[in-house]
Amino acid sequence: MDETLIATINKLQDALAPLGGGSSSPVDLPQITVVGSQSSGKSSVLENIVGRDFLPRGTGIVTRRPLVLQLINKRAAAKSSNDLIQINTTKENGDASENNADEWGEFLHLPNKKFYNFEDIRTEIVRETDAKTGKNLGISPVPINLRIYSPHVLTLTLVDLPGLTKVPVGDQPKDIEKQIRDMIMKFISKPNAIILSVNAANTDLANSDGLKLAREVDPEGSRTIGVLTKVDLMDQGTDVIDILAGRVIPLRFGYVPVINRGQKDIETKKTIRDALEDEKAFFEDHPSYKAKAHYCGTPYLAKKLNGILLHHIKGTLPDIKMRIEHSLKKYQNELSLLGPEMAESPTSIALNMITNFAKDYNGILNGESKELSSQELSGGARISFVFHEIFKNGIGAIDPFDQIKDADIRTIMHNTSGSAPSLFVGTQAFEVLVKQQIHRMEEPSLRCVNLIFDELVRILSQIISQPQYSRYPALKEQLSQYFIQFLREELIPTNTLVTDIIQSEETYVNTAHPDFLKGTQAMAIVEEKFHPKPQVAVDPKTGKPLPPSQQQLQQQQQQQQAKEEGGNGFFGGFFSSKNKKRLQSMEAPPPVLRATGTMSERESMETEVIKLLIASYYNIVQRTVSDVVPKAIMLKLIVKSKENIQKHLLEKLYNSPDLADMVKENELTVQKRKECVKMVEVLTNASEIVSSV
Ligand code: GDP
Ligand code: MG
């Protein structure tokens, strides 16, 4: 069972390998990542764990790409057994240089090729490293996945990373140190990473680069395990007991001291089997370690790593399962939004987009759209705002009397009476004036049409900004052009109807309107204003009421005064007595002839009556216009577009000669779909693997 767990993670690792293991990977699998300074012995530790020579060696940075090393215990994998496996100390184990039928390696990038010769594995690692990094000793974060099947390994997944280096050599990039550091951080910062920090025992642990990095991402030391190499190279009389006892830098998983082959051993081709035996002997004989010798050396390290990994996998599997399902769903959704690859004909793509567009358009106008936001008004609500707030207030803001002055009324009264003085000149003056004011409503009404036009275009942009429209940018562009063109065409009859409404109001002034102030009522109001119920006249000196006879006298005096002041009527000024000479010579009237002089009472009263009538009638028209104009716009522009846009777009787009070009997919969409297809495939695979546990 335990072995299958690790095997499951291994399979997942392979399944997710196409995603590059980087931050783009939606799931982070438990794995053991090896960190340490250059030449601290990382590769040596790995080789000892595997029991075979297979890693490239040399000076400088040899490991330049992450190596994801999956060790699979073949017997265990086959039988799923839980037997304790003796690592490479068994007598039948082959020599490093020998080929063995039950031990081989496989690269993920070379499926179906089994490497029985570990020398060839080394060559392939070098070749594959150079393939991705070039020969200039650069590095690459793209991992090489190597799987080793052997009866002599414990099932484990380890990642070998470039060692921390300080100085670029040759034509290595100047920032090589940072590049390596970033790559290491990418691997060990994942919470599921177990950090195997390799430190040479003959250097100061406090200066260890590997431990320093590990502490950055794992300050508690709860997922870091220390390895002390080169214990054999320590000065006589010194040992690592303090470190092992956790007295220097404590780690939850502790430290394991090991001894790898030294440079000389490698040159003399000392076998790993011999090396492991010497290691065992070293710890068993050493005075400092012999009491705890079974907690030292490579076999113990391998067992410990296996246990830690297993424990970790058990703890994280449910979470991994959930993450896989979650991201699978996410990518499936995205894929279905992107739609299938161009299997449809151009016309059916166009039909689809047009149908959806018409549906969205109607939905937004009717307030049924799913896109409706709670943050702002949209679509139909905005249109309603334009009608009931902006337009109504715009119309309401017209004050007829900011233009009509009493003097104008007088002039018009005279003008409208024409050459034949009429008995009651007011009626015609009223009509002329009120028509002029009604005409003023045309401008805001047409403006309202434009505002609605803008709102409809706004709905267009709202719809086509949805991701599914970005799939065919040219088609989308054409669709919105045809939509706007359609609206523009409809704008003409809409404007005509609106102008007609205002004009019909101008043309016929319906004085029989039931709400219209009756002439007699107006007269009565004005009469009341001009001749309030006779008040008792008061003596200006004493403040006491005058006797009736004197009251009459005063009134007569006042009337007389009024006559003298303006009694000559409209043309009083012009024909005043000072111009007697003109009177006699009967000169032609001046080019501009205005009504001047003080108004007579009758004129004042008539002016007042006209003003009252204008106000009353104007109100009626104002109400009508703010009611009818929106209805007209609704009919001619909004409902019309709702009903006909689909047909219009179909006709236009279907008849486009370059429809086939328009449905070329956006490069980004194609790219995105490829990515999604890959993700869905990989994750489906992963999901199957996980659910088999
Ligand atoms: P890496 O750069 O961290 O991968 O280090 P290597 O594994 O390549 O080792 C660097 C050098 O140190 C090699 O020459 C090894 O032979 C030597 N070395 C590594 N571990 C030990 C050890 O435990 N004892 C001795 N004597 N030499 C070691
Ligand atoms: Mg190395």
Q: How far apart are CA 539 and CA 531, in angstroms?
A: 20
Best residue for ligand 1 mutational test, from 40, 44, 268 (most atoms within 8 Å of Cβ)? 44
What Rg do the C-alpha atoms of the chain give, in angstroms?
A: 49
Residue 690, domain member (yes or no)? no
For ligand 1, atom 19, name the residue with the nearest CA: 41
Q: How far is the CA of 143 from the centre of ligand 1 (A)?
A: 23
Q: How far is the CA of 233 from the centre of ligand 1 (A)?
A: 11
Name the domain boundary from 155, 185, 215.
185
202 CA distance to ligand 1 middle (Å) = 12
Does residue 202 contact residue 230 with C-beta atoms inside 8 Å?
A: yes
Distance 260 CA to ligand 2 centre (A): 13
Q: DSSP per residue over 299-354, as a string?
A: HHHHHHHHHHHHHHHHHHHHHHHHHHHHHHHHHHHHHHHH-SSS-S-HHHHHHHHH
Residue owning the nearest CA to atom 17 of ligand 1:
262
The closest ligand to the CA of 38 turns out to be 1
d(CA 595, CA 606): 15
* Residue 194 to residue 188: CA distance in whole angstroms: 7
Which ligand minimizes its atom distance to the CA of 231? 1
> Which numbered atom of ligand 1 lies nearest the CA of 231?
23
Atom in ligand 1 nearest the alpha carbon of residue 62 = 2
Q: How many whole angstroms from 248 Cα to the centroid of ligand 1?
A: 23
* Distance, CA of 28 to CA of 325 (rounded, Å): 13
What's 351's domain CATH number? 1.20.120.1240
* Joined tokens for residue 523: 């007269």
- Any residues with CB less than 8 A from the CB of 413 and at least 6 apart, and which? 425, 426, 429, 603, 606, 607, 610
**Per this entry, what is the length of the chain?**
693
- Does residue 372 form part of some domain? yes
601 conformational bin, left if phi > 0, alpha if psi -120 to 50, beta if neither:
alpha
| Residue that is last in its domain, among 185, 218, 240 | 185
The confidence score (pLDDT) of residue 221 equals 85
Question: In whole angstroms, what is the distance from residue 572 CA to residue 582 CA?
Answer: 13
Domain annotation covers residue 559: no
Mean pLDDT in each 10-residue stretch from start to end of the chain (693 residues)? 69 68 60 89 89 81 86 59 39 50 89 90 91 78 89 82 76 80 89 90 88 90 92 90 89 93 89 92 93 92 86 82 88 83 79 92 81 63 91 92 82 66 63 91 95 94 87 89 95 97 94 85 82 64 62 57 42 46 64 65 81 91 95 95 93 86 79 86 83 74
Residue whose entry in the numeric block shows the structure tokens 């990373």: 161
Q: Which residue type does 644 have?
A: N
Identify the DSSP state of 365: H
**Is residue 215 a part of any domain in this protein?**
no
586: left (phi over 0), alpha (psi -120 to 50) or beta: left
Q: Are 240 and 234 in contact (CB under 8 A)?
A: yes
DSSP for 181-221, please give it.
HHHHHHHHTSTTEEEEEEEETTS-GGG-HHHHHHHHH-TT-
From atom 11 of ligand 1, which residue's Cα is the shortest distance away?
Answer: 39
271 in any annotated domain = no
Q: Whose CA is nearest to atom 26 of ligand 1?
A: 262
Return the residue whose CA atom lies nearest to atom 18 of ligand 1: 262
Q: Structure pTM? A: 0.53
Q: Is 348 exposed, middle or buried (0-12, 13-18, 19+ CB in 10 A)?
A: exposed
In a domain, 172, yes or no: yes
Q: Which ligand is nearest to the CA of 164?
A: 1
Ligand 1 centroid vs 203 CA: distance in angstroms? 13
Domain that holds residue 507: 346-524+604-664
CB atoms within 10 A of CB 406: 15
Quote the pLDDT of residue 88: 41
Residues sharing a CB contact under 8 Å with residue 42, sequence separation 6 or more, in sequence order:
34, 35, 36, 63, 160, 161, 163, 198
Output the CA 162–ligand 2 centroid distance in Å.
6
Calculate how far, in angstroms, residue 208's C-alpha sits from the geometric centre of ligand 1.
Answer: 15
- The enclosing domain of 100 has a CATH number of 3.40.50.300
Choosing from 145, 169, 185, the residue where a domain stops is 185
Task: Judge whether 224 lies within some domain.
Answer: no
Q: For the chain, what is the domain count?
A: 2
Taking the CA of 47 as reference, the closest ligand is 1
Ligand 1 centroid distance, CA of 216 (Å): 25
Q: How far does the centroid of ligand 1 lie from the alpha carbon of residue 298, in Å?
A: 14
Asked if 93 contacts 185 with a C-beta cutoff of 8 angstroms, the reply is no
Ion ligand 2 neighbours (CB, 5 A) are 42-43, 63
Tell me the C-alpha distance between 32 and 161, whole Å: 11
On whether residue 564 sits in a domain, the answer given is no
pLDDT in the model for residue 416: 66
Closest residue CA from atom 13 of ligand 1: 263
Tokens of residue 591, six digits: 């080019």
Residue minimizing CA distance to atom 14 of ligand 1: 263
Ligand 1 atom, smallest distance to 44 CA:
7
Determine the pLDDT at residue 62.
78
Residue 278: both structure tokens together: 């010497």
Give, using CA atoms, the residue closest to atom 9 of ligand 1.
41
Rounded CA gap, 597 and 565, in Å?
9
Ligand 1, pocket residues at CB < 6 Å:
36, 38-44, 57, 163, 229-230, 232-233, 259-263, 266
